[in-house]
Amino acid sequence: MGRAYRAVFGMRAKMELQYRGAVLGGFVCQVFFGLILVSLYRALYRGRPQALPIETVASYVWLQQAFFRMLLSSDNDLADKIRTGDIAYDLCRPVDMYRFYYARIAAQKLVGSLLRGVPMIVFAFLLPKGWGLMPPASPLALLCALASLTLGLLCVSAMENITMGITMRTLDPRGVQALLNLLMTLMAGNILPLTLFPDAWQRVLSFLPWTQMLDAPIRLYTGVRETSSVWGVLGVQIFWTAALGLLGMELWKRNREKLVLQGG
């Protein structure tokens, strides 16, 4: 038990390692976007400095750029299988389909974001102060952020499986998937750092599932959330990971009972 899923995880991780050329192109692109965003926020801060130092905002931008791939990558093979009806073969496999695809997507997100994230973090560290990534608020904050990031990965993978579960119903990946993904970029702080949202919004947003993925670990890293409140942060993350996981499993189970296959 569990060996099959570990094998799927390992295979998918190796596959993700193959596309190193695409990684380089993507890296240059992300760096460019990061520089544009940091320049914009610096210009805004020139006119009206905020309580939150610019170093924190710049770090937020770079960490979002570094782990962009964790947020936005989806299993195109599965989407294709749903579209062509090949998903019927997956139903014949002697494994639990939900866990099978959960292992795949988690591997893809982990390796995809490490490949892009590690060079990006090194690059952002080398930038001058106020432009680049600041060191973690404390060694303990780094540890908390890493724990939180791990939970974030589990949470975003569960979310991805829900999106896929809905796609199995609508059969067309473009509509629902695009809608949910775009909603995610906004609500997870990729378009505008959530720390710059109105304060009242932030309090509500921090309890929603989208902030559990990247926003929570970044806040712990930069010290916006104190390490003393770490148990609260991790608790909300665990809650959403479990809730989204159970919801997804139920959705996939029902899909299995009345799955409409396309093609012929």
* Alpha-carbon gap, residue 205 to 199, rounded angstroms: 10
C-alpha span between 37 and 39 (Å, rounded): 5
* 208 interacts with another protein by CB under 8 A: no
Give which of 152, 153, 173, 154 is closest to 163, Cα–Cα.
173
Closer residue to another protein, CB minimum distance, 18 or 228: 18
Q: By CB under 8 A, is residue 198 in contact with another protein?
A: yes
Select 35 or 147, whichever has its Cβ closest to another protein: 35
- Min separation Cβ 174 and another protein, Å: 5
Output 26 or 150, the one with its CB closest to another protein: 26
Q: How far is the CB of 229 from another protein (least distance, A)?
A: 24
CA distances from 62 to 116, 127, 195 (A): 12, 11, 14
Single-letter residue type at 61 = V
Beta carbon nearer to another protein, 156 or 166: 166
Give the dihedral sign, CA 29/79/74/105: negative
- Check if the beta carbon of residue 15 is closer than 8 Å to that of residue 115: no
Binding to another protein (CB under 8 A) within 38-57 occurs at 39-40, 43-44, 46-48, 50
Q: How many residues bind another protein (CB under 8 A)?
A: 34
Q: How far is the CB of 176 from another protein (least distance, A)?
A: 6
Nearest Cα neighbor of 103 from 12, 19, 1, 16 is: 12
Give me the least distance between CB of 179 and another protein, in Å please.
4
| Half-sphere exposure of residue 59: CA atoms within 13 angstroms, side-chain side | 22
CB of 127 to another protein, least distance (A): 12
The token pair at 33 is 């976007």
**Cα 137 from chain centroid (whole Å):** 22
Q: Which stretch binds another protein (CB under 8 A): 77-85, 146-154, 177-185, 232-240?
A: 177-185
Binding segment for another protein (CB under 8 A), chosen from 27-35, 75-83, 92-100, 147-155, is 27-35
The reply on whether position 128 binds another protein by CB under 8 A is: no
Cα Rg of the chain, angstroms: 19
Q: Which of 17, 36, 204, 208 binds another protein (CB under 8 A)?
A: 36
* CB 6, CB 103: distance < 8 Å: yes
What residues make contact with another protein under the rule CB under 8 A?
A: 22, 25-26, 28-29, 32-33, 35-37, 39-40, 43-44, 46-48, 50, 170, 172, 174-176, 178-179, 182-183, 185-186, 191-192, 196-198
